[in-house]
Chain A
Amino acid sequence: MPTRRRVPLLLILPTVALLLAALGYPVGWQLVTSFQKFGLLQQFGQPPEWIGLGNYAALVTDPNLWAVILRSLAFCFVCAFSTVVIGGLVALLMRRVPAPLRILLQIAMLVAWAMPVVATMTVWVWLVDWRRGFLNWFLVRLGVDAAGHNWLVEPLSFFAIAAIIVIWMSVPFVALSIFAGLTQVSPEILEAGQMDGATGWQRVRHIMLPLIAPVVSIVLLLQIIWDLRVFTQIRLLQDAGGFPNETHLLGTYIYQLGTGAGDFGMASAVSVFMLALTVAISWYYVRSLMKEEEA
């Protein structure tokens, strides 16, 4: 029956049309533009000029861009791994403590997870404010000479603050996912391990970890994908007093190239690089989801 066969296609038509218009077209435009010289002159009407791999060549030979790429990767891996380690430990802790404390921990995690990113950033900027922020006051009370110290001026402490914020925001998702994974571990297996004389850590290492490895690898992958694209946190910390040129990551760098310098060609080339990186990392995740779907 031809109508029956047309129904599903009609049903997915709005989704496909929307995604093609809002995402497909821009990806295509970006690919094309990345092979063009598309600077300020072109924005005022000059036709863009084809330069083949010119932008990519400039990209590969630009030490400043490599600094941004390496910085982004380093920031991403530090944040993603710390998040998963801390989240995993918090999940284990949830198993160890009496029920009321477990619920307390879960609520604290949920509230932090629910905070919108821009609201989160305003509070953290207020917390680390060099004049009257809570952080410096607290450090001084601990005996650290932090009075009047501006954390956002030095790139290293800028990224330390950014990392703390990113980790604070993402640990709840990881902790609650791993905790959900841990509840699948049957108590009998742990009991058996205990009878055989395994210590607490040995039970974690040899019984729990292998069983929850799929959950851990997926949340780690998601964290890497998300932390690679971190934009809002960096942009807003720069607003609050960081020096943009020394603190760009891929996202803010593209933004600066495009809207600041007006070099759409280069911005597109960097974007294509970033998209390719994301797709490469996502590949494994999407494949494992598809397997789950078919199982």
Chain B
Amino acid sequence: MSLLAALTRAYDRLPDAPPYGFSTEKIGFCVVLETDGRVAEVIDLRGDDKKRSPRMLLVPQAVKRTAGIAPNFLWDKSAYVLGVTAGEGKRTAEEHAKFREKHLDWLADTTDPGLLALCRFLESWDPASFAAPQWQDEARDQNLVFRLSGEFTFLHDRPAARTLWREIGAEGASDPQICLVTCTPGPVARLHPSIKGVWGAQSSGASLISFNLDAFTSYGHDQGDNAPVSEAAAFAYTTALNRFLEKDSGHRIQIGDASTVFWADAPDDAAEEAENLFSAFFDPAGDEKLAAAKIKDKLDAIRSGTRLTEVAPNLAQGVRFHVLGLAPNAARLSVRFYWTSDFGTLTAHYQRYLQDTEVQPPPRDGWPPLWRYLIELAVQGKRENVPPLIAGEWMRAILTGAPYPLTLLSTTLMRLRADGEVSPLRAAILKSILIRNFKSKEAPVALDPANTNKGYMLGRLFAVYEEVQRAALGGNVNATIKDKFYGAASATPQKVYRTLDAGAQNHFSKLRKQSPGRAVNLEKLLTAITDLMEPGNDPYPASLTAAEQALFGLGYYHQRSDFFRKHDDKTPEVTE
């Protein structure tokens, strides 16, 4: 099933989906009209909260405004409805004129008293009469709707308005063609409704399907005719997608620059449970949230490697799961990844990802969310510096169980060379790439003293040199050998190891005077590592491959954490 078809199906499952041709919009005020078009009163519809957030009302679907002036049907912002804005508004007068003209045109044949009242109002309205006490200043730039005095339904909810809207709604569509989503003939959407809420895209919304430059068009087709999607299908997929992209919809997580939405095709309870589990997989929520969703035990069981058929048999079979990653590119949206399969497969792939990234000692807070890993790849650890594409590619690889993108390795190595910070997260990334892409059996979870891979041994050796320096000179060295040599040692060992060795001898001679026991211990460790090296096999090669550099990082991480662990073991003895 294609992406659009899946979203169209998801629309049918939405619990309170707006009907075709309508959308939920933020409305601030309601203008109450007398039948002769005079304004009876203006009602504030906004909530009581601090931000006075506007009420979400179901109104005729907003038109797509780009550069042109186009009014909405029976509602709009104050510039269109009244010709009034808070700012300068160069085209306010034009916008209001258009609103008036269009509505008088649309409503020309109506006999409905409510719609006639609007006609009278538009004919007689003068923007200058926008004044207190009737009009509050806060109504500027809010969206306005209308109501007839003495009645409770809004003008756009009147049956006459709804009938009229159905006729108007079909105006913009082009000739009937076969729809590539539903495969039934119907009027084709020229411009698709905007998708809002994608991180980094324009706040007014961006398009998933658009043909805004002529290099994108084929066979002389214009706009939506390039990919015939019926009005109904276009409405359905955008409504579903917009709903999923809303904040706190329970259907979205942010992974790098990819706004990721997910949904399940299943009976309601199972779907919700699967969605909760998925969001906890990649963006662990607080304990309360997990408890509220009643998934804590199941999540723990899945993380410890129990098969889904045992944890939640209802999810293992027949729950189709969809994951879609969207990222902005110029004014368009681009699909970073779209994955669909059943939830059992997804869980198995997630467990494999956990297994691959396992390192000893583990990161401090257990199950770091994916974005924490991604930040390790960003310059200065800033979220906006995460290299684009990597997040999406990586996520795709995790979901499909495929090899990881090799750019992940090169980026991690580049960050390591730049700042030399071998964090548990970076070690985990290195290890998982070694296992997945290089089928490396030499990438151990914890310190492996018998490992004879060159990269791994050199990494350990480097950690020992650093420890010797620390033992001799204390922790307050301005630039340690790690700061100075990590990059060179991991990439071109031959150039630096002789220098390091010479330096270490000086440190040893100092250390022997201060604490001879520690010097002996470190020297033993050093020989234990160098004994593993075979002189014939060139222990200090001119360069290391990317995979060996990854093992270097892992070896360094293991050996160095080992010092800290031993250190921890000793402290109680001292205090006794």
**Do A and B assemble together?**
no
A interface residue numbers (CB < 8 A to B): none
